[in-house]
Chain A
């Protein structure tokens, strides 16, 4: 059974700092891993999707990596801005027993101006 864990649960950083959010998963038979952000009271916005055959994906100031062998993914945010304040969720889609997606509990990020 796939379990996804995110560390830290909450993070507060000053504006301009680079930061890393961590995601670990127990089942390496993962089809893809997706990072989302969720603003309070809102739905989820997709940030990056990494297929199992890929090692990383980049979009603007965001870089996500995937290491299946160690069961880890990281989301790197460069030069953080107050607008980056949100909850960041990672989700793993498995290819054993179906393609259901398992989410981590999220990391709540606060970037101070």
Chain B
């Protein structure tokens, strides 16, 4: 079946602009995670959704970052007033439910100029 998909695959934006990154999880997966991978760095947890529960936002680096998940499926990560340090690959993963294997999408490479 279809895996996790993310769009766009690449995004170049000017400093100060807002961007939206999209994640389509595997159908039926109730858990969804967002991570960030900066150049030469490990994966940094951003936010986690499980079903209709309140998301775990503890990894969001600033209030410029927000995410939502509509209808328990598609998720959008929004970065407002982008800064150069936001440049990274943003990865999304989904899981059948909490504590199960995570399946990753190909990522969105964000470059802030």
Give the contacts of B88-108 with A (CB-CB under 8 A): 91, 93, 98-107
B 22-38 to A, binary, CB cutoff 8 A, 1 in contact else 0: 00000000010101000
Docked-complex contact B56 and A101, CB < 8 angstroms:
no
Docked-complex contact B102 and A34, CB < 8 angstroms:
yes
Docked-complex contact B99 and A99, CB < 8 angstroms:
yes
Query: Closest B-chain residue to A97, C-beta based?
Result: B58
A 20-62 to B, binary, CB cutoff 8 A, 1 in contact else 0: 0000000000011010100000111110010100000000000
Of the listed stretches B11-19, B40-48, B66-74, name the one at the interface; the rest are far from the partner chain: B40-48
| B residues near A101, Cβ cutoff 8 Å | 33, 45, 48, 102
Docked-complex contact A105 and B48, CB < 8 angstroms:
no
Using A98-B56, A100-B56 as known contacts, say yes or no to A105 and B102 having CB atoms under 8 A apart: no
| B residues near A89, Cβ cutoff 8 Å | 42-43
Instruction: Tell me the count of chain B residues lying within 8 A, CB to CB, of chain A.
Output: 25
Using A46-B101, A46-B102 as known contacts, say yes or no to A105 and B45 having CB atoms under 8 A apart: no
Using A43-B105, A49-B101 as known contacts, say yes or no to A100 and B42 having CB atoms under 8 A apart: no
| B residues near A51, Cβ cutoff 8 Å | 99
| A residues near B103, Cβ cutoff 8 Å | 46
Q: Complex Cα distance A100/B49, Å? A: 10
B interface vs A, CB < 8 Å? Answer: 31, 33, 35, 41-45, 48, 50, 56, 58-59, 91, 93, 98-107
A-B pairs with the 4 shortest C-beta distances?
A: A103-B43, A105-B42, A44-B104, A98-B56
6 further contact pairs, Cβ within 8 A, besides A100-B58, A105-B42: A31-B99, A43-B105, A44-B91, A44-B93, A46-B101, A101-B102
Interface CB pairs A-B, < 8 A, 17:
A42-B106, A43-B105, A44-B43, A44-B104, A45-B104, A46-B102, A46-B104, A49-B100, A49-B101, A89-B43, A95-B99, A97-B58, A98-B48, A99-B56, A99-B99, A100-B58, A103-B35
